[in-house]
Structure formats: structure tokens, C-alpha cells
Structure 1
Amino acid sequence: MRFDHVGVATRDAADLADLFDGLLDAPVAHEETFDGMAVVFLELDGGGYFELLEPTAGGAIADYLDREGPGIHHVALATDDVSGALDRARDLGIDLVDEEPRPGAWGHEVAFLHPRSTGGVLVEFVEH
């Protein structure tokens, strides 16, 4: 596996995209509205992305922002086999948010591991 992206919950993805582009020279690589969110991927030099998540309706990110405020939401790792990665996590006794892969942003298959089993970090597996 390799680093894919860090997901950042925000109330204003466009404003944060402008900030990070100026600060990190991280241009927008992809934008979409998905699952009640505006999703903006900023490409980092050397590989990987910042994924900015702005709620457009109620849902997980809106709830997260209400509970925790803006900031890092999850860390995503790229894999060639999300199902296999879930099986490995299940074999290790890790609590899963997703029992099976599901559609994610940018057309990728994704699955999340529960932070109570991963040191407080919400981990996403993403298959390109």
C-alpha cells in the first residue's frame, strides 16, 4: 500500500483550495459533488492529494463538522485490492466501517476502518 490522500473536512472547500494552492502549490486535480459533499482533490508535488470535503447536505461530513469542527477527517491508502485489504484487517480483528467495498469519489472503490481499532485514525482503503 501507499499513501493516497488525506481527507480534510471544511465548511468552504473553494476557499481552502485557494489557500493550499497558494501555500503548497497544490492545484485542483479533480472536483465533483458526491454523496452530499463537494469534493475537491488538490494534487501534491511528489504524489498524493489533499481531499477537501464540504457538506452540501446533511450526512457524515456535516455531522463530523458539527461534532469536531474543521480539520483532518481521514487518511487514505491506495491498494490494488480493497476486498483483500478488508479481509486482512478482518483477520487482524480490526473493526470495519464498511464490510464490503463501496463506490467512492472519483469513481474509486473504497472502504473504511473504524478509528477505535486504528489508534484513533479513520483509515480509508482506496482502489483506483
Structure 2
Amino acid sequence: MHVDHVGVATEDAAGLAELYTELFDAPVAHEETFDGLRVVFLELERDGYFELLEPVEDGTTIGRYLDKNGGGIHHTALATDDIEAALATARDAGVELVDDEPRDGAWGHDVAFLHPKDTGGALIEFVEH
């Protein structure tokens, strides 16, 4: 596995994308509205992406996160070639799964999350391209 992206919760994806593009020379690789969110992926030269997450509908997980914590790193995503096997490994290790089965994620990827209570407080996402 390797780091695929770092998800950043924000109230202003366009503004943060502009800043990150300037600071990190990270051009926009993909944008979409998905699951009540504006999602912007910024490509880092060799090291994956920043995924900027801005709620555009009420009641989203990211909106609740922003209300409670403000903007910042929401999750770290690890790329896997076999998301089912990654989930089985986590399950066998006694880690609580947020998603028992992969689900549709942004950019057409399959995703599944591990519960942060069992991963040192970090929300970890598996992503299969």
C-alpha cells in the first residue's frame, strides 16, 4: 500500500485549491460534486493527491466535521489493489470497520473506512482505483 491522498475538510475548496496550487505546484487533477460535497483533487508530483472536501448540502459528514472541528485534515487514504483483502486484514486485526463492504467513492473509486477509535485516532480510508 501507499498513500493515495490526504482528505482536507474546508469551507472553500476553490480558495484552498488556488492556495495549494500556488504553494505546492499542485494542479487540479479532478473536480466533481459527489455525495453532497464539492471534491477537488490536487495532484502532487510523485506523492498522490490532496482531496479537498467542501459541503454543498446540509447534513454531510464533512459538514458535521467542520462544525465540530473546523477545517483541516479529515482522513488519510491508502491505495490498495485489493480492497476486500485490506478490509479482511483489518477485520482480522480486530479493527472496527466504518464500511463492512466497499462503497462508491469520488472519482469512481471503491472506498472503505476504518474506525479511528481502533487506529490511534486517525480516520483511514482504503481506496481501490
Structure 1 equivalent of residue 102 of structure 2: 101
Q: Distance in 2 between matches of 1:82 and 1:103?
A: 12
Structure 2 equivalent of residue 70 of structure 1: 71
Q: Distance in 2 between matches of 1:57 and 1:64?
A: 13
Name the SS of the counterpart of 1:45 in structure 2: coil
State the TM-score, normalizing by the size of structure 1: 0.99
The one-letter amino acid of 1:47's match is D
1:48-73 Cα shifts (integer Å, max 9, x gaps) = 00000000012100000001100000
1:72-124 Cα shifts (integer Å, max 9, x gaps) = 00000000111110000000000110000000000000000000000110000
Structure 2 equivalent of residue 4 of structure 1: 4
Structure 2 equivalent of residue 14 of structure 1: 14
| Structure 2 unaligned spans of 5+ | none
Percent identity reads 69
The one-letter amino acid of 1:53's match is L
Pairwise CA distance, 1:46: 1.4
Q: Distance in 2 between matches of 1:99 and 1:67?
A: 26
Q: Distance in 1 between matches of 2:73 and 2:96?
A: 20
Pairwise CA distance, 1:36: 0.3
Name the SS of the counterpart of 2:122 in structure 1: coil
Structure 2 equivalent of residue 56 of structure 1: 56
1:19-46 Cα shifts (integer Å, max 9, x gaps) = 0000000000000000000000000011
Runs (4+) of structure 1 exceeding 2 A deviation are: none
Q: Distance in 2 between matches of 1:56 and 1:50?
A: 19
Q: Distance in 1 between matches of 2:47 and 2:75?
A: 17
Name the SS of the counterpart of 1:7 in structure 2: strand
Pairwise CA distance, 1:47: 2.6
Structure 1 equivalent of residue 88 of structure 2: 87
Q: Distance in 2 between matches of 1:47 and 1:68?
A: 26
State the TM-score, normalizing by the size of structure 2: 0.98
